Amino acid sequence: MLKGVNRVLVGAAGVVLVGLGAAVLVGSLDLQRRWGLTLPSAWPFDGPRDVLLSRAAQTKWRGEGWWWPAVIAGLGVVVLLALWWLLAQVRRRRLRELVVDCGDGEEAVLRGRALEEAVCAEAEAQEGVERALVALLGRRTAPEARVGLTLAPHASPAVALSRLDGEALEHARVSAGVGRLPVEVRVRAVRHRAERVG
Amino acid sequence: MSGIEGGGGGGGIEGGGGEAGGGVPGARRFWAVRRVPAFLVAAVVLGAAGLLLYDVAAVRAHRPAMEWRRRLAHELATRPLGDGWVVGGAVVAVVVGLWLVLLAVTPGLRSVLPMRPGRADLRAGIDRRAAALVLRDRAMEVSGVQSVRVKVGRHRVNVRAQSHFRDLDDVRADVKGVMVEGVRKLGLAREPGVSVRVGRPAKK
């Protein structure tokens, strides 16, 4: 979700910058005359002698009663949205608790941290795994997991992954009572020196 | 994508859900969240809009505008478009804008190779550096290999080994075989090609 928002907004900012810069450059380099471009009549820049924002343009709306309230309201909205967007980057949305369906109509609440620690301990007990980091994300009823797996020297990534899937993650799926637990795993390895075995 | 459940007597563990193929979502590339660019853009927008809002509100409350705003209005109204600063600023804006658009549309995370998904809701990726370490350890097991450097690119694995005994061609063939096998056992969604070069260590 944040991924999509970030990419759309960053892309929009890029398009705006390119558009403004290119529009100014067309005026600066006098491209409309040199290349014979036909620009719409409302085009703001007319040749290299023109300015970015003339006094007349700066004071055009100032007399209107709605102008300043509109400017303040618009800037306020921009400030609030930018603040929300900024905070979303630094906030980590760990899942605090998740709801487990007990099967008899009852529901239990499981602490997210407890499940994280259980999965982490089980993964680290696995042969060939040096360290594991587990984070639960998503919503209470639809949890997701991120796993960072650091392999010990001479471990096989594919074996470690399928064992993680079959043991630690399978147990997490069962104990969380969810049929689907989307998991993202990043595999790393501890740096170690090359050594001759034979 | 044919030899998925090979694995050479590995008990079929690395085959996992075997016939996964390319259509399973786990095989897609990892997309970066782009936290840092988003943070920077948000900070710049927040700073600029916040400062302007403060000043506009201050002027509405009959206090004088800040110096920078009068200066900015003056510059905007007097500096011609042909001026070097304006042209330079416009070029910078275009370059930064293109960079942001590029960041927005490319996946990023080039250091992560997607692994073959065992099941639909499991996505895994391995760091290229980790893959290189695993392959290096396997190459060291070939007899005759004294030292080896493995670089894992996104489409190709480059192996440079130095052999202090045995015939070079034999060592090359062995290393090649071990590397191809090793790449398959990494369980990558898209297996990179392998190129091997073997030489003698430099004379001391």
Q: What is the pLDDT of residue B104?
A: 93
Residues B97, A9: C-beta atoms closer than 8 Å: no
Cβ pair A112, A178 in contact under 8 A: no
B116-153 residue pLDDT tens: 877 778 889 999 999 999 899 888 888 888 888 999 99
Q: Do A3 and B31 touch (CB under 8 A)?
A: yes
Half-sphere exposure of B40 (CA within 13 A, CB side): 9
Residue B47: closest C-alpha in chain A? A79
More confidently predicted of B26 and B179: B179
Rounded to a whole number, what is the distance in Å from the CA of A62 to chain B's nearest CA?
12
pLDDT at residue B3 above 80?
Answer: no
User: Shortest CB distance from B86 goes to which of A52, A184, A198?
Assistant: A52
B100/A14 CB distance under 8 A: yes
Chain B: nearest CA to A104, how far in angstroms?
Answer: 27
pLDDT of residue A196: 65
Task: Please judge whether A89 and B136 are an interchain contact, meaning their C-beta atoms are less than 8 angstroms apart.
Answer: no
Inter-chain contact A158–B81, Cβ cutoff 8 Å? no
Interface touch B133/A189, C-beta < 8 Å: yes
* CB proximity A80 to B under 8 Å: no
Provide CB contacts within 8 A for A7, sequence distance 6+: B34, B104, B105
pLDDT of residue B26: 46
Residue B5 has pLDDT above 70, yes or no: no
The per-residue pLDDT for B4 is: 35
pLDDT at B94: 96
Residues 6 or more apart whose Cβ sits within 8 Å of residue A48:
A27, A28, A29, A30, B80, B81, B82
Q: Give pLDDT tens digits for B19-47.
A: 334 444 446 788 888 999 999 999 999 99
Helix (H, G, I), strand (E, B) or coil at B199: strand
Q: Is the pLDDT of residue B204 over 80?
A: no
- In chain A, what is the straight-line distance between the N-terminal and C-terminal CA atoms, in Å? 50
Distance from CA of B173 to the nearest CA of A (A): 18
Q: Is A11 on the interface with B (CB under 8 A)?
A: yes
Strands (E), A73-112: 97-101, 107-111
Spatial neighbors of B100 by CB under 8 A, at least 6 apart, are A10, A11, A13, A14, A17, B37, B41
Task: State the pLDDT at residue B24.
Answer: 47
At A197 the pLDDT is: 56
What is the model's pLDDT at position A153? 84
CB contact under 8 A, B86 and A186: no
Q: Quick check: A114 contacting B, CB < 8 Å?
A: no
CB distance A10 to B37 below 8 Å? yes
The answer to which of A186-195, B175-184, B189-198 has the lowest mean pLDDT is A186-195
Determine the 3-state secondary structure of B146 from DSSP: strand
pLDDT per residue, tens digit, chain A (198 aa), is: 788 999 999 999 999 999 999 988 888 888 877 887 777 777 778 777 788 888 878 777 877 888 888 999 999 999 999 999 999 998 877 888 888 877 777 778 888 888 889 889 988 888 888 899 999 888 888 888 899 999 988 888 888 888 888 888 888 888 877 778 888 899 998 888 777 654
Q: Assess whether pLDDT exceeds 90 at residue B60.
A: no
How far off is chain A from B163, nearest CA to CA, in Å? Answer: 13
ipTM above 0.90, yes or no: no
pLDDT of residue B203 exceeding 70, the answer is: no
Single-letter code of the amino acid located at B59: V
